[in-house]
């Protein structure tokens, strides 16, 4: 049974001010209702003034997704009554959106490239936010700081075939938006998704307002199972809107299609139609993820996997380019594999890491001043300092203070001799052909030299030492 998924994505554009007034969009740490004016509170007589920057951001996205910008687009009123919407209508775009017919390339479940078609993008205002007081209160609070934040709604065709594809699509889209600089991925709730899903031949269900990618994948996975079970029992899937309960990982029915609002859309009389198609040619697009990934492979000679990881986030790609001069391939491994792993473990962002320090660390590795094992140790120490808000010492200083420079041949010899003398059983086992025994001896030497000796080199030295009758 084929799974069919189409998404509607609401992206908060990172303009400095709201879509129809001059209020600041930087509201997240502020007191409720402190970023409001007569326009976003809908006081009588207040009139909207369109934010040009938001239009330009929308056009930038349209161009990046290869879309057709309409010669004339139009704002419309979407009428509904709810406390998060002080005007009792949302200004959005309806039958004349900003742009139509785009594409995004993703990987399908078999790892092949595939195209997800974009139906349309349009501008609209974010409603306010209801705050439900815990403990069964009789009332809810409403915060209008979010009211009027510019949203770009991106609607896809039903081209995705699994919850995993939907997640990959969202990752890809988010990367593009971050590259374009129109969206701040670190903002909570900056991207909210309505996920539509059906099984071939059945009605579709829309799961509204999911605020994380993992949430989208989970909600869709739940829906696939739920819908399959219904059909298996001979029941029908009903066309309805559902809510996703993040905590429990399930969706619940919100309303059926019959109960859907009639929004009574009509053209917004307070705003003139938009004629901006001629502005598109002048928009300069930055290098986008696919182009940057390809360039990384040719310019730096790194693998597809590394290039993909490194260009998955523009900040990470910039970081890599700032340290690649030391040794591009070594840098790719350390940044994409080691550093990212350590950052995830600490829940840290790449922004907190000083690139010069990592470049210095790479130089120590490249010149074989330290081993990989010590490299990881030093990296951890630097990251812990950054995480604690302490100054990040140069790696050379840490290596010097803690005596972590690569062990010299003389040191090897002594420690190897000691380890071999102390473990006659292991030596016998090795002579009897047991591979593990050599690893054990190498491990002993590694421990003794605190990772300052290279394990491969040691393996050779220890085996030679035993073979040539050093004991
Ligand atoms: N059979 C289907 N299975 C899954 N998704 C579908 C199917 N048909 C359409 N879709 C998706 O549903 C979404 C339709 O969104 P659209 O906004 O056009 O209509 P709507 O959901 O009825 O309206 P709204 O949500 O704005 O009130 C698109 O993302 C589309 O890809
Ligand atoms: Mg909408
Ligand atoms: Mg919809």
Question: Ligand 1 in contact with 306 (CB < 6 A)?
Answer: no
Domain-by-domain residue ranges, the chain? 3-282, 289-348+358-392, 409-467
SS3 343: helix
Q: Using an 8 Å Cβ cutoff, are 70 and 97 in contact?
A: yes
Ligand 2 centroid to Cα of residue 15, in Å, is 19
Q: What is the CA angle 361-365-367, rounded to 5?
A: 115
As a whole number of angstroms, the distance between CA 435 and CA 437 comes to 5
pLDDT in tens, 41-60: 999 999 999 999 999 999 99
Q: What is the CA angle 9-320-456, rounded to 5?
A: 125
Residue 186 has a CB neighbour count (10 Å cut-off) of: 10
Q: Which ligand is nearest to the CA of 261?
A: 1
Tokens describing residue 208: 């509204």
| Across 83-89, average pLDDT | 95
| Across 19-38, average pLDDT | 94
Question: Ligand 1 in contact with 97 (CB < 6 A)?
Answer: no
Q: What are φ and ψ of residue 7, in 5° steps?
A: -120, 150
Question: Ligand 1 in contact with 98 (CB < 6 A)?
Answer: no
Question: Ligand 1 in contact with 292 (CB < 6 A)?
Answer: no
As a whole number of angstroms, the distance between CA 34 and CA 23 comes to 9
State the complex-level ipTM.
Answer: 0.95
pLDDT in tens, 124-179: 999 999 988 888 788 899 999 999 999 999 999 999 999 999 999 999 999 999 99
Residue 424: its H or E element:
helix 424-431
Environment of ion ligand 2 (residues, CB < 5 A)? 153
pLDDT band at 469 (very low <50, low <70, confident <90, very high): low
Angle, to 10 degrees, between the axis of helix 455-467 and the axis of helix 409-422?
60
The mean of the pLDDT values for the chain is 92
pLDDT at 87 over 80: yes
Question: Ligand 1 in contact with 204 (CB < 6 A)?
Answer: yes
As a whole number of angstroms, the distance between CA 38 and CA 190 comes to 24
Nearest Cα residue to 132 out of 143, 119, 120, 141: 141
Specify the residue for token string 């000691």. 418
Among 162, 195, 196, the mutation site with the greatest number of ligand 1 atoms within 8 A of its Cβ is 196
Q: How do beta strands 68-69 and 3-12 pair?
A: unpaired
Query: What is the four-CA torsion angle of 287, 291, 294, 300, rounded to 10 degrees?
Result: -10
Ligand 2 centroid to Cα of residue 34, in Å, is 26
409-467 classified as CATH 1.10.10.410: yes
**Strands of 205-210's sheet in order across:** 68-69, 99-107, 113-125, 150-156, 3-12, 191-199, 205-210, 240-245, 250-256
| pLDDT of 471 | 46
Question: Ligand 1 in contact with 6 (CB < 6 A)?
Answer: yes
The fraction of the chain above a pLDDT of 90, given in percent, is 75
């Amino acid at each position: 049974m084929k799974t069919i998924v189409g998404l509607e994505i609401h992206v908060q554009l990172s303009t400095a001010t709201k879509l129809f007034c001059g209020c600041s969009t930087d509201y997240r740490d502020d007191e409720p209702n402190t970023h409001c004016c007569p326009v976003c509170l809908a006081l009588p007589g207040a009139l909207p003034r369109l934010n040009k920057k938001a239009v330009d951001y929308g056009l930038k996205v349209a161009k990046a997704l290869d879309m057709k910008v309409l010669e004339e687009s139009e704002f419309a009123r979407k009428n509904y009554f709810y406390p998060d919407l002080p005007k009792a209508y949302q200004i959005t775009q309806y039958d004349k959106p900003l742009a139509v017919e785009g594409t995004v390339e993703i990987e399908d479940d078999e790892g092949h490239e595939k195209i997800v078609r974009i139906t349309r993008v349009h501008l609209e205002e974010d409603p306010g936010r209801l705050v439900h007081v815990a403990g069964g209160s009789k009332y809810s609070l409403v915060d209008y700081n979010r009211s009027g934040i510019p949203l770009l709604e991106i609607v896809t065709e039903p081209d995705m075939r699994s919850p995993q594809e939907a997640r990959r699509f969202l990752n890809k889209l988010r990367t593009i938006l971050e590259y374009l600089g129109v969206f701040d991925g670190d903002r909570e709730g900056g991207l909210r998704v309505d996920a539509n899903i059906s099984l071939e031949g059945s009605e579709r269900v829309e799961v509204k307002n999911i605020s994380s990618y993992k949430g989208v994948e989970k909600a869709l996975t739940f829906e696939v199972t739920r819908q399959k079970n219904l059909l298996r029992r001979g029941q029908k899937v009903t066309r309805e809107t559902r809510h996703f309960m993040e905590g429990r990982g399930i969706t619940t029915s919100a309303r059926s299609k019959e109960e859907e609002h009639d929004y009574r859309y009509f053209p917004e009389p307070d705003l003139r139609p938009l004629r901006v198609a001629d502005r598109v040619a002048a928009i300069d697009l930055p290098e986008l993820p696919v182009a940057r990934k390809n360039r990384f492979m040719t310019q730096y000679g790194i693998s597809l996997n590394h290039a993909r990881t490194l260009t998955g986030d523009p900040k990470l790609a910039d970081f890599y380019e700032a340290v690649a001069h030391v040794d591009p391939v070594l840098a790719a491994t350390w940044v994409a594999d080691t550093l990212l792993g350590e950052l995830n473990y600490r829940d840290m962002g790449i922004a907190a890491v000083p690139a010069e320090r990592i470049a210095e660390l790479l130089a120590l590795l490249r010149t074989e001043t330290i081993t990989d094992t010590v490299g990881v140790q030093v990296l951890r120490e630097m990251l812990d300092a950054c995480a604690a808000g302490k100054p990040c010492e140069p790696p050379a200083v840490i290596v010097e203070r803690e005596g972590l420079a690569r062990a010299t041949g003389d040191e090897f010899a002594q420690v190897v001799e000691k380890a071999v003398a102390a473990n006659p059983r292991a030596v016998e086992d090795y002579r009897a052909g047991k591979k593990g025994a050599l690893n054990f001896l190498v491990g002993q030497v590694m421990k003794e030299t605190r990772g300052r000796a290279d394990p491969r080199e040691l393996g050779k030295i220890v085996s030679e030492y035993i073979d040539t009758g050093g004991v």
